[in-house]
Chain A
């Protein structure tokens, strides 16, 4: 009884009228911003994966003798002030960026979704409390909470991941609760309740599957925000610490050399912008594809 109910409810909420999976991909490949976003995101992901097995040079070995070289056959984008190969630094930097993003969004997603689901399921003062708390967390932007944490725990990757993750929670709480409330008002939830299911089972079997597409879209966009925040914190020296390469850190190093090697300040920033642009476009595309009713004006 419960299985077919869930399945039909899920498909009807995500896309009215059942549609084979191949249809999704056919539409996806025609969606401009989805394709562009997916390509850009895959480039960044590919760079991160590539850096695990191969980089043109070591990203940590210092070679002062060949510092600040212009681009050449050996060093495609030249070298930095410590003689490290820029391409290698960018590749390894992609890995740090993705790692911080995944963990921070993971923190925000797991806590935020749980709290949002509880708020929608319990209502009353539980909901009020959770929502007031999430409103309150908005008073501490990621950079501010990272600064506070860095002041007591010392700067570092863990500090910045924690701060960014905490800042992500309220957004997920709001999105989860808002969309979960809409599902709770649907007839099939009433039917499930009449069939004797408790709040917990309804949440897991009906509410969560139906808001999954919205959460995926939100997670993509939050990933982009996490990358921006990580870059800013690393730039300030509060995030990823040397010798671990990171794009924000590279920008900080490059700023002192603006007059000698201006291009050093261009590459890492472009890398950040590509990653963020890719994820944002991917999120927009997914939103259109997964839930046409949510499609924004374009």
Chain B
């Protein structure tokens, strides 16, 4: 276990460093002078120089990179160029929305996908299977932001059940907040669930063909029991791989969906920061999203070994 674990941790750390380097280089080295971009083309050279010094942009590239890394280690991400407030605070404010949104949509995804995937595999080639699989084919083709707009059309414009956007916050208890995240979470989840359902279905079908399933049936276990006790556990490996990859899509998806519903989350913060040329905020947000993606995939890798001990051995 320890060698396996150590290898993965080292890869994780190396990946995070590489990601930070790329993000830093793309955002800080390429655009020339952030102060100039911030103040516009017609700012006086003196003012630009003063701002450059004030933002610490006069220091060499390597120093600024190391300062950023050091800052991340102690939780000090610097101050926003535009608002002047700490970036860490800005991000924390927004995560209160984005993390619950991501968790809600992942939950909806998993529930929908496992239900559809197991149902279709258990009813292989029957009418229900063909029907649900056709639906998932359409689901995969839907752009999630268009699906979101359709949900707004149905629930906000026609039925007037839910608001078309905005976030109620968590101050009045948990329900108003969840209510305002419901449509965004569903629109993120449906498309992902369509993909995951197909993966689940083919994984379950594959395991159903294994010898040990026949053995379990032969020793008298019912179909349902075999499915739940033997098949699912073995089918979870490919399903989890895809779930890990989907989490990356989901986070990227929140950027789009938060803009559809005017939700003040991380995605909208990144977006506004680009418009404001607030590169320090963009840099830290992108780093955070990339880190979340990498970390989730790391956790999935670890879970494999937990679910299927054979993997540890083969990866040593």
Check if A187 is an interface residue, CB within 8 A of chain B: no
Could you say which residues of chain B place their CB within 8 Å of the CB of A272? 143, 146
Stretch at the interface among B84-92, B149-157, B166-174: B149-157
Interface string of A142-173 (1 = CB under 8 A from B): 11100111111100000000000000000000
Main secondary structure of the interface of A (DSSP, over half): helix
Is the CB of A113 closer than 8 A to any CB of chain B?
no
Beta-carbon contact of A141 and B270 below 8 Å = no
**Cβ < 8 Å to A, chain B residues 25-41:** 26-27, 30-31
Q: Measured between alpha carbons, how far is A258 from B146 in the docked complex, in Å?
A: 12
Q: Which residue of B lies closest to A231 (CB)?
A: B143
* Interface presence of A203 (CB below 8 A): no
User: Taking A144-B286, A258-B152, A258-B157 as contacts, is the C-beta distance between A296 and B146 under 8 angstroms?
Assistant: no
Evaluate contact between B149 and A139: CB separation under 8 angstroms.
no
User: Contact between B137 and A149 (Cβ–Cβ < 8 Å)?
Assistant: no
| Distance A127 CA – B15 CA, assembled complex (angstroms) | 17
Interface residues on B, range: 35 or more
Taking CB as reference atom, which chain A residue is nearest B206? A297
A45 in the interface (beta carbon within 8 A):
no
A232 to B149, CA, bound (A): 13
Partner of B140, one of A148, A231, A276: A276
Shortest C-beta distance, A197 to chain B (Å), equals: 33
**Are B153's CB and A139's CB within 8 A?**
no
Which stretch from A12-20, A53-61, A69-77, A259-267 is at the chain B interface? A259-267
- Select one of A148, A251, A281 contacting B149, CB under 8 A: A251
Give a binary string over A101-134; 1 marks a CB under 8 Å from any B CB, 0 the rest.
0000000000000000000000000000000100
Sort chain A's interface into a size bin.
Answer: 35 or more
Inter-chain contacts of B156 with A (CB < 8 A): 258
Min distance, Cβ A226 to any Cβ of chain B, angstroms: 12
Residues from chain A with Cβ under 8 Å of B286 in the complex: 144, 147-148
Residue of A nearest to B28 (CB): A152
B260 and A148 within 8 A (CB): no
**Given A141-B248, A273-B146: A148 and B137 interface contact (C-beta under 8 Å):** no
Assembly CA distance A141 to B124 (angstroms): 34
> A152 and B31: CB pair below 8 A?
yes
Residues of A near B15 (CB, < 8 A) are 135-136, 139
Q: CB of B164 within 8 A of chain A?
A: yes
User: What are the residues of chain A within 8 A of B18 when measuring CB–CB?
Assistant: 136
Q: Given A143-B256, A152-B27, does the pair A232, B153 have CB atoms closer than 8 Å?
A: no
Return 20 A-B CB contacts under 8 Å, by A number. Answer: A136-B19, A141-B249, A147-B274, A147-B286, A148-B27, A148-B286, A152-B27, A152-B31, A228-B143, A232-B144, A235-B145, A258-B164, A265-B149, A268-B146, A269-B142, A269-B143, A269-B150, A276-B142, A277-B141, A297-B205
With A136-B15, A139-B19, A274-B141 known, 20 other A-B pairs at CB within 8 A are A138-B248, A139-B15, A139-B293, A139-B294, A141-B251, A143-B253, A147-B270, A147-B282, A147-B286, A150-B274, A151-B273, A236-B255, A251-B145, A254-B149, A255-B149, A255-B260, A258-B153, A269-B146, A276-B141, A297-B205
Which B residues fall within an 8 A CB radius of A?
Answer: 11, 15, 18-19, 22-23, 26-27, 30-31, 124, 133, 137-138, 140-147, 149-150, 152-153, 156-157, 164, 201-202, 205-206, 245, 248-249, 251-253, 255-256, 259-260, 270-271, 273-274, 279, 282, 286, 289-290, 293-294, 297
